[in-house]
A and B are shown apart, each in its own frame.
Chain A
Amino acid sequence: DQQVKQNSPSLSVQEGRISILNCDYTNSMFDYFLWYKKYPAEGPTFLISISSIKDKNEDGRFTVFLNKSAKHLSLHIVPSQPGDSAVYFCAAAYSGAGSYQLTFGKGTKLSVIP
Protein backbone atom coordinates (compact mmCIF):
# COMPACT_ATOMS: atom_id res chain seq x y z
CA ASP A 1 0.00 0.00 0.00
CA GLN A 2 1.60 3.23 -1.15
CA GLN A 3 1.45 5.83 1.56
CA VAL A 4 2.97 8.57 -0.59
CA LYS A 5 1.71 8.92 -4.13
CA GLN A 6 2.92 10.95 -7.05
CA ASN A 7 0.34 10.31 -9.70
CA SER A 8 2.09 12.06 -12.57
CA PRO A 9 5.10 10.07 -13.78
CA SER A 10 6.20 12.96 -15.99
CA LEU A 11 5.70 16.65 -16.61
CA SER A 12 6.92 18.95 -19.39
CA VAL A 13 7.11 22.70 -18.92
CA GLN A 14 8.44 25.57 -21.00
CA GLU A 15 11.44 27.43 -19.65
CA GLY A 16 10.36 30.45 -17.64
CA ARG A 17 6.94 29.04 -16.80
CA ILE A 18 5.78 27.54 -13.52
CA SER A 19 6.25 23.85 -12.76
CA ILE A 20 3.80 22.31 -10.31
CA LEU A 21 4.52 18.86 -8.96
CA ASN A 22 1.91 17.16 -6.85
CA CYS A 23 1.99 14.60 -4.08
CA ASP A 24 -0.71 12.91 -2.00
CA TYR A 25 -0.31 10.93 1.18
CA THR A 26 -2.58 8.59 3.08
CA ASN A 27 -0.93 8.25 6.48
CA SER A 28 -2.30 11.00 8.73
CA MET A 29 0.60 10.46 11.13
CA PHE A 30 3.05 12.04 8.71
CA ASP A 31 4.08 15.43 10.04
CA TYR A 32 7.11 16.32 7.97
CA PHE A 33 7.36 16.42 4.22
CA LEU A 34 10.28 16.79 1.87
CA TRP A 35 11.12 17.08 -1.78
CA TYR A 36 14.25 15.53 -3.22
CA LYS A 37 15.63 16.06 -6.69
CA LYS A 38 17.51 13.34 -8.55
CA TYR A 39 19.68 13.59 -11.65
CA PRO A 40 20.65 10.43 -13.58
CA ALA A 41 23.53 8.46 -12.05
CA GLU A 42 23.38 10.52 -8.87
CA GLY A 43 21.69 10.07 -5.52
CA PRO A 44 18.69 12.14 -4.47
CA THR A 45 19.49 15.64 -3.25
CA PHE A 46 17.41 17.41 -0.61
CA LEU A 47 15.52 20.36 -2.04
CA ILE A 48 12.98 21.73 0.41
CA SER A 49 10.84 20.61 3.32
CA ILE A 50 7.77 21.61 5.29
CA SER A 51 6.51 20.79 8.74
CA SER A 52 2.83 20.03 9.27
CA ILE A 53 2.48 23.15 11.43
CA LYS A 54 2.99 25.25 8.32
CA ASP A 55 1.14 25.43 5.04
CA LYS A 56 3.84 27.05 2.95
CA ASN A 57 7.61 27.16 2.81
CA GLU A 58 9.70 29.10 0.31
CA ASP A 59 13.30 28.85 -0.74
CA GLY A 60 14.22 30.96 -3.71
CA ARG A 61 12.44 29.67 -6.80
CA PHE A 62 11.00 26.72 -4.88
CA THR A 63 7.83 26.79 -2.79
CA VAL A 64 6.13 23.88 -1.14
CA PHE A 65 2.46 24.06 -0.17
CA LEU A 66 0.81 21.70 2.28
CA ASN A 67 -2.93 21.08 2.53
CA LYS A 68 -3.36 18.82 5.54
CA SER A 69 -7.09 18.40 5.22
CA ALA A 70 -6.65 17.11 1.68
CA LYS A 71 -3.43 15.23 2.55
CA HIS A 72 -1.84 16.92 -0.42
CA LEU A 73 1.34 18.82 -1.04
CA SER A 74 2.77 20.49 -4.08
CA LEU A 75 6.08 21.88 -5.20
CA HIS A 76 6.10 25.03 -7.29
CA ILE A 77 9.16 26.04 -9.28
CA VAL A 78 9.10 29.56 -10.64
CA PRO A 79 10.56 30.30 -13.09
CA SER A 80 11.48 26.87 -14.39
CA GLN A 81 14.96 26.47 -15.84
CA PRO A 82 16.43 23.72 -18.05
CA GLY A 83 18.72 22.73 -15.15
CA ASP A 84 15.61 21.84 -13.15
CA SER A 85 15.04 18.87 -15.44
CA ALA A 86 15.28 15.89 -13.10
CA VAL A 87 13.17 13.37 -11.22
CA TYR A 88 11.48 14.86 -8.16
CA PHE A 89 10.59 12.66 -5.23
CA CYS A 90 8.13 13.57 -2.55
CA ALA A 91 8.88 12.05 0.87
CA ALA A 92 7.26 12.01 4.28
CA ALA A 93 8.19 11.16 7.85
CA TYR A 94 6.61 11.21 11.29
CA SER A 95 8.07 12.02 14.64
CA GLY A 96 6.69 8.99 16.44
CA ALA A 97 8.43 6.48 14.23
CA GLY A 98 11.43 6.02 16.51
CA SER A 99 13.66 6.37 13.51
CA TYR A 100 13.66 9.18 11.02
CA GLN A 101 13.00 6.98 8.03
CA LEU A 102 11.58 8.52 4.90
CA THR A 103 8.66 7.17 2.88
CA PHE A 104 9.03 8.14 -0.75
CA GLY A 105 6.69 8.46 -3.71
CA LYS A 106 7.63 6.97 -7.07
CA GLY A 107 8.81 10.29 -8.47
CA THR A 108 7.83 12.70 -11.24
CA LYS A 109 10.20 13.31 -14.12
CA LEU A 110 10.26 17.02 -14.92
CA SER A 111 11.45 18.16 -18.33
CA VAL A 112 11.97 21.89 -18.79
CA ILE A 113 12.02 22.74 -22.46
CA PRO A 114 14.24 25.66 -23.55
Chain B
Amino acid sequence: DSGVTQTPKHLITATGQRVTLRCSPRSGDLSVYWYQQSLDQGLQFLIHYYNGEERAKGNILERFSAQQFPDLHSELNLSSLELGDSALYFCASSVTGGYQETQYFGPGTRLLVL
Protein backbone atom coordinates (compact mmCIF):
# COMPACT_ATOMS: atom_id res chain seq x y z
CA ASP B 1 0.00 0.00 0.00
CA SER B 2 1.59 3.25 -1.21
CA GLY B 3 -0.55 5.47 1.01
CA VAL B 4 -2.03 7.20 -2.03
CA THR B 5 -5.75 6.67 -2.47
CA GLN B 6 -7.84 7.16 -5.57
CA THR B 7 -11.58 7.06 -5.99
CA PRO B 8 -13.49 5.67 -7.68
CA LYS B 9 -11.69 2.48 -8.71
CA HIS B 10 -13.87 2.07 -11.78
CA LEU B 11 -16.03 4.48 -13.70
CA ILE B 12 -18.28 3.77 -16.67
CA THR B 13 -19.88 6.68 -18.45
CA ALA B 14 -21.10 7.81 -21.84
CA THR B 15 -19.60 10.07 -24.46
CA GLY B 16 -20.19 13.74 -23.84
CA GLN B 17 -20.38 13.34 -20.08
CA ARG B 18 -18.19 14.83 -17.37
CA VAL B 19 -16.47 12.96 -14.54
CA THR B 20 -14.30 13.81 -11.58
CA LEU B 21 -11.48 11.61 -10.35
CA ARG B 22 -10.18 12.10 -6.84
CA CYS B 23 -6.74 11.56 -5.36
CA SER B 24 -5.55 11.79 -1.76
CA PRO B 25 -1.76 11.95 -1.47
CA ARG B 26 0.34 10.29 1.21
CA SER B 27 0.27 12.07 4.52
CA GLY B 28 2.74 14.95 4.38
CA ASP B 29 3.18 14.96 0.62
CA LEU B 30 2.65 18.34 -1.01
CA SER B 31 3.03 17.36 -4.65
CA VAL B 32 0.47 15.51 -6.75
CA TYR B 33 1.00 14.29 -10.30
CA TRP B 34 -1.60 12.90 -12.68
CA TYR B 35 -0.78 10.34 -15.38
CA GLN B 36 -2.89 8.68 -18.04
CA GLN B 37 -2.29 5.15 -19.29
CA SER B 38 -4.17 4.35 -22.47
CA LEU B 39 -4.34 0.87 -23.97
CA ASP B 40 -0.86 -0.43 -24.80
CA GLN B 41 0.71 2.88 -23.85
CA GLY B 42 3.08 3.91 -21.15
CA LEU B 43 1.98 6.33 -18.51
CA GLN B 44 1.75 9.85 -19.90
CA PHE B 45 2.23 12.84 -17.65
CA LEU B 46 -0.78 15.13 -17.52
CA ILE B 47 -0.26 17.73 -14.79
CA HIS B 48 1.63 18.46 -11.57
CA TYR B 49 0.40 20.41 -8.57
CA TYR B 50 2.45 21.55 -5.60
CA ASN B 51 0.78 22.83 -2.46
CA GLY B 52 -2.29 23.99 -4.33
CA GLU B 53 -0.54 25.55 -7.29
CA GLU B 54 -0.08 24.20 -10.77
CA ARG B 55 3.60 23.46 -11.36
CA ALA B 56 3.67 21.93 -14.83
CA LYS B 57 1.43 20.69 -17.61
CA GLY B 58 2.09 17.82 -19.94
CA ASN B 59 -0.06 16.52 -22.78
CA ILE B 60 -3.30 17.40 -21.06
CA LEU B 61 -6.30 18.10 -23.26
CA GLU B 62 -8.17 21.37 -22.87
CA ARG B 63 -11.26 19.33 -21.93
CA PHE B 64 -9.34 18.15 -18.85
CA SER B 65 -8.60 20.24 -15.80
CA ALA B 66 -7.31 19.64 -12.32
CA GLN B 67 -6.98 21.34 -8.99
CA GLN B 68 -5.42 20.72 -5.62
CA PHE B 69 -7.34 21.77 -2.56
CA PRO B 70 -6.11 23.21 0.77
CA ASP B 71 -6.25 19.76 2.36
CA LEU B 72 -3.91 18.68 -0.50
CA HIS B 73 -6.27 16.24 -2.16
CA SER B 74 -6.54 16.68 -5.90
CA GLU B 75 -9.28 16.23 -8.46
CA LEU B 76 -8.98 15.63 -12.17
CA ASN B 77 -12.00 16.77 -14.14
CA LEU B 78 -12.66 15.25 -17.56
CA SER B 79 -15.41 16.79 -19.66
CA SER B 80 -17.02 16.22 -23.05
CA LEU B 81 -15.75 12.69 -22.82
CA GLU B 82 -14.81 10.78 -25.95
CA LEU B 83 -14.26 7.07 -26.52
CA GLY B 84 -10.51 7.69 -26.67
CA ASP B 85 -10.50 8.99 -23.11
CA SER B 86 -10.99 5.45 -21.86
CA ALA B 87 -7.86 4.73 -19.89
CA LEU B 88 -6.33 4.15 -16.50
CA TYR B 89 -5.70 7.39 -14.63
CA PHE B 90 -3.06 7.35 -11.93
CA CYS B 91 -2.10 9.94 -9.46
CA ALA B 92 1.22 9.99 -7.67
CA SER B 93 2.50 12.02 -4.78
CA SER B 94 5.85 13.06 -3.40
CA VAL B 95 7.01 15.23 -0.55
CA THR B 96 7.93 18.41 -2.42
CA GLY B 97 8.07 17.40 -6.07
CA GLY B 98 11.81 17.92 -5.96
CA TYR B 99 14.18 16.35 -8.41
CA GLN B 100 14.79 12.64 -7.87
CA GLU B 101 12.15 12.38 -5.17
CA THR B 102 10.32 9.06 -5.34
CA GLN B 103 6.80 9.34 -6.65
CA TYR B 104 4.32 7.03 -4.95
CA PHE B 105 1.44 5.92 -7.12
CA GLY B 106 -2.15 5.23 -6.25
CA PRO B 107 -3.99 2.16 -7.57
CA GLY B 108 -5.58 4.12 -10.39
CA THR B 109 -9.07 4.81 -11.65
CA ARG B 110 -10.16 2.83 -14.67
CA LEU B 111 -12.41 4.95 -16.88
CA LEU B 112 -14.52 3.40 -19.60
CA VAL B 113 -16.36 5.72 -21.97
CA LEU B 114 -19.12 4.03 -23.96
Known: A44-B105, A99-B55, A99-B56. A104 touches B97 (CB 8 A): no
**For B35, what are the chain A residues with a Cβ–Cβ distance below 8 Å?**
102, 104
Q: Is the CB of B99 within 8 A of A32?
A: yes
Known: A89-B43, A106-B41. A95 touches B56 (CB 8 A): no
B55 vs chain A, min Cβ distance (A): 5
Q: Is the CB of B108 within 8 A of A43?
A: yes
Closest to B50 in A: A99
Q: Is the CB of A100 within 8 A of B105?
A: no
Interface of B is mostly: loop
Q: Is the CB of A101 within 8 A of B42?
A: no
Q: Which of A78-105 contact B (CB under 8 A)?
A: 89, 91, 93, 95, 97-105
**For A104, what are the chain B residues with a Cβ–Cβ distance below 8 Å?**
35, 42-44
B26 vs chain A, min Cβ distance (A): 12
Q: Please list the residues of chain A having a beta carbon within 8 angstroms of any beta carbon in chain B.
A: 2, 4, 6, 32, 36, 41-46, 49, 51, 89, 91, 93, 95, 97-107
**For A107, what are the chain B residues with a Cβ–Cβ distance below 8 Å?**
42
Q: Is the CB of A45 within 8 A of B99?
A: no
Known: A103-B45, A104-B44. A93 touches B105 (CB 8 A): no
Q: Please list the residues of chain B having a beta carbon within 8 angstroms of any beta carbon in chain A.
A: 2, 4, 33, 35, 40-45, 48, 55-56, 58, 90, 92, 94, 97-108
Closest to A96 in B: B99
Candidates A41, A89, A93; contact of B42 at CB < 8 Å: A89
**For A101, what are the chain B residues with a Cβ–Cβ distance below 8 Å?**
33, 45, 48, 56, 58
Q: Is the CB of A45 within 8 A of B56?
A: no
CA distance A45 to B43 in the complex (A): 13
Q: Is the CB of B100 within 8 A of A41?
A: no
Q: Which 7 A-B pairs have the closest CB atoms?
A: A99-B56, A43-B105, A104-B42, A101-B45, A104-B43, A106-B42, A99-B48
